[in-house]
A and B are shown apart, each in its own frame.
Chain A
């Protein structure tokens, strides 16, 4: 039988999705359902003088109106769950509804519950709020300066933490360096924009004391835990169901006040309550991503050897510290400063800064794109300064393939890699030399072609739980699976992860199918319901296949070990004499004497004839805790044609060579790369959350925030190399975020390369035509 592992079979989740038969959170409808709406601050920073909910309470169909004062003694505040150590982290209280002060446009002020969506929404307009406006501060660098408006009295300078990473002796490296390049880089603030907005539907039964909450969640077990903290309801009384989830990209990791308020309302009213964001609410009330101001220096030799990297980063956190926020610009960012290179001396400082904006948390790539971008951008600047081909500079500094496991200056150890292999393959696919000669020719004709090459590696497959504890992550990072075999030989795998588009209902069934020699149709993967699934930590950080998939593999192996005992008993042979062949345990040398998986499943479950001491049933649970993170890598290359008159960037080709180890389903892997790259190109070319000086979100709807459209984006060419990871039994690495991590610097470097003859060295993304044009004018010495 051909193995399922490695086969690009069609996805098993698709039939319900393409026929409209899937159930997303807002599709849940319960008898007696009430609808909630949340009044949100229209000011970025203000004292709340008075909130008058009298009219709203009397409005038709309104069941209840709650303000911050109403709930503050009944509920706990919103927790921050990544308490990064050794950085003097200050997390002021984050009330579920504001009581005395609002800190961003979108901060919750009151919750209305009514008989219909429209009645709830109408009642919001009847609430009278008297604000006493305070100064806003948007830019994290400015918010960290003396005299900036202060958000929290507990944090006088707005600086939530000062985190440092160092290895080697950067001061010495820079003092002795022949060449140094410096650049200020802005990581534009982004709106994650999962197509499905957040929603919650809570149903509390006062008779049983049980709460069931349907939530748009990437990590239902984390939400059960944190809902328990906020609602004060014991964890065993809470069942969280994340049904179909319409994309997350990090935005459905955090514990938000809103979902807890919906639970509280259901508990208070004894009726089910549902709340669903609309998009403009989502853009204000759901976390944002990125938002760094970075000062970066890189030094090296004239021969192209990089000797040091120094950073000073202001990372905007928004009005409050969201669930994982402190860990994103630190652990997941600064520790990756060496990238795929042997940079011996590194010194970084990251300031986490409160600003009067929507909280910032994990967004696809989460910290690593901001690290890869600064590094790749600096390497191109360095290459240009020493007059060396940027590919050559990368080659001189890549970690050699025979040096793994390799410990970089920031102290982390990469599992495996063959960076040169991916680079060679990508250069060959694109025909780098040919493009360089076309570029030279075009330049003579006054056309501006450019090429960007990114060699990246990233940290994912989060991660060893011991490390999670050491870096202040408020949970474990193992994951789990129960593999349960039914009497008829069909299987369900209950997993701790929560796929929301990544296809693990298919890929995990491939793992199980191979282990038992059964068709993939005989395996169902169940995720998202805390009542059914074992404790897990969710789907983010490109961890689900490497960690949860490994748990599935281990659980299936345990099942098979038991099946083997039963087979030996039934065949009257010793286990040592059995071998697994074509879906059967057979006696070595007597291939006709065997027991198929289905026969063993039946006997285990009816238990008529089991070996002495073997319990009935056929299932196993595994909790897999990896020994290290995984470090996928690759090379992305983009070629562009820039119109110097209009600043318009046209992508000519985009080549992505990624190495995520062995691929369970290559079709799904390519899909992850496509989506990731385009999301990164959105960041590089057009996406940016823009606030005005008063803290109003100007890109507050999809009319203004430039989510990439089909007509704006190219097709990309994908290829892969395969370097297994030694840290899990599948050898796999993650691929959910690589595209986003690699594509942003690839595009920006290509444009800067195109405009090199005009003297353009750097343009802050997104590279809109206006920005590109302005950079050209500035380089030419003209007016902007």
Chain B
């Protein structure tokens, strides 16, 4: 039995008919065509699907779409404002913080949450905060540098 839900995604009210069991990640991707949110695992380890729900980083594969009813959701597509990249997007670009780019949206969304809570993190704090986001390409070093650069740019 499908039900209709309305989510506020990147500042726009979006309505979708979803099965109660549908995960937020799939609804964002398949029904709202926001394919910047990626799915890299089925056990909530990889973090590629991380979005913001009411300003907090959430793995969207771990949340039912119906739980997001009426909530403010920001995906990677909604991070750049007025045509300007978010400082983290800019920093990931500058510091070569990505290679294949698959983990990058989730990585950036988690890092944005970290910097909101801890504007001047140590390298260790960044590494700890990104524990739930896996990257197979970069070895993390340039991701840490990118997050530091974004923190410095704030």
Chain A residues near B123 (CB-CB < 8 A): 715
- What does the 1/0 interface line of B98-123 toward A look like (CB < 8 Å)? 11111111001000000000000001
Q: Which of A675, A703, A739 has the most CB of B within 10 A?
A: A675
A19 touches B (CB below 8 Å): yes
Q: Given A21-B77, A709-B131, A702–B85 Cβ distance below 8 Å? A: no
Closest to B125 in A: A711
Q: Given A279-B43, A674-B142, A675-B138, A18–B89 Cβ distance below 8 Å? A: yes
Please measure, in the bound complex, the distance between the C-alpha atom of A16 and the C-alpha atom of B127, giving whole angstroms: 25
Within 8 A of A (CB), among B34-57: 34-43, 45-46, 48
Chain B residues near A13 (CB-CB < 8 A): 101
B69 touches A (CB below 8 Å): no
Please measure, in the bound complex, the distance between the C-alpha atom of A117 and the C-alpha atom of B39, giving whole angstroms: 14
- What does the 1/0 interface line of A254-267 toward B look like (CB < 8 Å)? 00000000000000
B80 touches A (CB below 8 Å): yes
Contact A710 B101 (CB under 8 A): no
Contact B137 A10 (CB under 8 A): no
Q: Which of B22, B45, B76, B144 has the most CB of A within 10 A?
A: B45
Contact A20 B35 (CB under 8 A): yes
The one of A24, A671, A701 that contacts B138, using a Cβ cutoff of 8 Å: A671
The one of B40, B75, B79, B96 that contacts A195, using a Cβ cutoff of 8 Å: B40
Please measure, in the bound complex, the distance between the C-alpha atom of A335 and the C-alpha atom of B32, giving whole angstroms: 52
A667 touches B (CB below 8 Å): yes
Please measure, in the bound complex, the distance between the C-alpha atom of A14 and the C-alpha atom of B137, giving whole angstroms: 14
Chain A's interface size range is 35 or more
Chain A residues near B102 (CB-CB < 8 A): 24, 194-196, 246-247
Please measure, in the bound complex, the distance between the C-alpha atom of A406 and the C-alpha atom of B91, giving whole angstroms: 44
The one of B76, B138, B141 that contacts A19, using a Cβ cutoff of 8 Å: B76
Of A319-327, A423-431, A496-504, the stretch lying at the interface with chain B is A496-504
B143 touches A (CB below 8 Å): yes
Q: Given A197-B40, A701-B43, A711-B128, A503–B99 Cβ distance below 8 Å? A: yes
Contact A19 B85 (CB under 8 A): yes
Contact B42 A677 (CB under 8 A): no
Contact B100 A710 (CB under 8 A): no
Q: Given A501-B137, A710-B126, A18–B98 Cβ distance below 8 Å? A: yes
Please measure, in the bound complex, the distance between the C-alpha atom of A118 and the C-alpha atom of B19, giving whole angstroms: 10
A27 touches B (CB below 8 Å): yes
Q: Output the least CB separation between B59 and chain A (Å).
A: 12
Contact A24 B98 (CB under 8 A): no
Chain A residues near B94 (CB-CB < 8 A): 10
Contact A702 B46 (CB under 8 A): yes
B30 touches A (CB below 8 Å): yes
Q: Output the least CB separation between A362 and chain B (Å).
A: 15
Please measure, in the bound complex, the distance between the C-alpha atom of A20 and the C-alpha atom of B130, giving whole angstroms: 19
Chain B residues near A24 (CB-CB < 8 A): 35, 38, 102
Contact B42 A278 (CB under 8 A): yes
- What does the 1/0 interface line of B120-154 toward A look like (CB < 8 Å)? 00010011101101111111111110000000000
Contact A715 B96 (CB under 8 A): no
Q: Given A21-B36, A195-B100, A716-B139, A710–B144 Cβ distance below 8 Å? A: yes
A23 touches B (CB below 8 Å): yes
A610 touches B (CB below 8 Å): no
Contact A15 B93 (CB under 8 A): yes
Contact B46 A196 (CB under 8 A): no
Please measure, in the bound complex, the distance between the C-alpha atom of A31 and the C-alpha atom of B141, giving whole angstroms: 42
Contact B143 A710 (CB under 8 A): yes
B33 touches A (CB below 8 Å): yes
Chain B's interface size range is 35 or more
Interface of A is mostly: loop
The one of B29, B40, B75 that contacts A196, using a Cβ cutoff of 8 Å: B40
A17 touches B (CB below 8 Å): yes
Q: Given A18-B98, A279-B42, A674–B141 Cβ distance below 8 Å? A: yes
Q: Given A196-B40, A709-B131, A710-B133, A22–B99 Cβ distance below 8 Å? A: no
Q: Output the least CB separation between B101 and chain A (Å).
A: 3
Contact B46 A246 (CB under 8 A): no
Contact A247 B108 (CB under 8 A): no
Chain B residues near A668 (CB-CB < 8 A): 96
- What does the 1/0 interface line of A1-36 toward B look like (CB < 8 Å)? 000000000110111111111111011010000000
Please measure, in the bound complex, the distance between the C-alpha atom of A676 and the C-alpha atom of B41, giving whole angstroms: 22
Please measure, in the bound complex, the distance between the C-alpha atom of A703 and the C-alpha atom of B139, giving whole angstroms: 19
Closest to B109 in A: A20
Chain A residues near B108 (CB-CB < 8 A): 18
Contact B134 A22 (CB under 8 A): no
Please measure, in the bound complex, the distance between the C-alpha atom of A501 and the C-alpha atom of B138, giving whole angstroms: 9
Contact B98 A17 (CB under 8 A): yes
Contact A20 B144 (CB under 8 A): no
Please measure, in the bound complex, the distance between the C-alpha atom of A195 and the C-alpha atom of B101, giving whole angstroms: 9
Q: Which of B89, B134, B141 has the most CB of A within 10 A?
A: B141
Q: Given A117-B30, A710-B133, A501–B99 Cβ distance below 8 Å? A: yes
Q: Given A279-B46, A674-B141, A195–B103 Cβ distance below 8 Å? A: yes
Q: Which of A21, A24, A246, A249 has the most CB of B within 10 A?
A: A246
Q: Given A24-B35, A29-B33, A709-B134, A246–B100 Cβ distance below 8 Å? A: yes
A678 touches B (CB below 8 Å): yes
The one of A17, A21, A249, A710 that contacts B127, using a Cβ cutoff of 8 Å: A710
Chain A residues near B37 (CB-CB < 8 A): 20
Please measure, in the bound complex, the distance between the C-alpha atom of A711 and the C-alpha atom of B34, giving whole angstroms: 30
- What does the 1/0 interface line of A665-708 toward B look like (CB < 8 Å)? 00110110011111100000000000000000000011100011
A713 touches B (CB below 8 Å): yes
Q: Output the least CB separation between B79 and chain A (Å).
A: 8
Chain B residues near A552 (CB-CB < 8 A): none
Q: Given A11-B96, A19-B76, A501-B137, A702–B41 Cβ distance below 8 Å? A: yes
Please measure, in the bound complex, the distance between the C-alpha atom of A245 and the C-alpha atom of B38, giving whole angstroms: 12
A244 touches B (CB below 8 Å): yes
Chain A residues near B105 (CB-CB < 8 A): 18, 20
Contact A711 B131 (CB under 8 A): yes
Please measure, in the bound complex, the distance between the C-alpha atom of A707 and the C-alpha atom of B130, giving whole angstroms: 13
Chain B residues near A26 (CB-CB < 8 A): 29, 35, 39
Contact B99 A280 (CB under 8 A): no
Contact B127 A711 (CB under 8 A): yes
Please measure, in the bound complex, the distance between the C-alpha atom of A19 and the C-alpha atom of B85, giving whole angstroms: 8
Closest to A503 in B: B99
Chain B residues near A709 (CB-CB < 8 A): 130-131, 134
Closest 6 CB pairs of A and B: A20-B36, A246-B102, A17-B101, A678-B139, A501-B100, A501-B99
A selection of 29 A-B contacts at a CB cut-off of 8 Å is A14-B93, A14-B98, A17-B101, A18-B108, A19-B85, A20-B36, A20-B105, A22-B101, A27-B29, A194-B100, A195-B46, A195-B102, A195-B137, A196-B102, A244-B101, A246-B40, A247-B100, A279-B43, A279-B46, A280-B43, A501-B99, A671-B99, A675-B138, A701-B45, A710-B135, A711-B130, A713-B127, A715-B123, A715-B141
A13-B101, A675-B139, A711-B130 provided; 17 other pairs, C-beta below 8 A? A10-B94, A17-B104, A21-B36, A195-B40, A195-B102, A195-B137, A196-B38, A244-B100, A246-B101, A279-B43, A501-B99, A701-B42, A710-B128, A710-B130, A711-B127, A711-B128, A715-B123
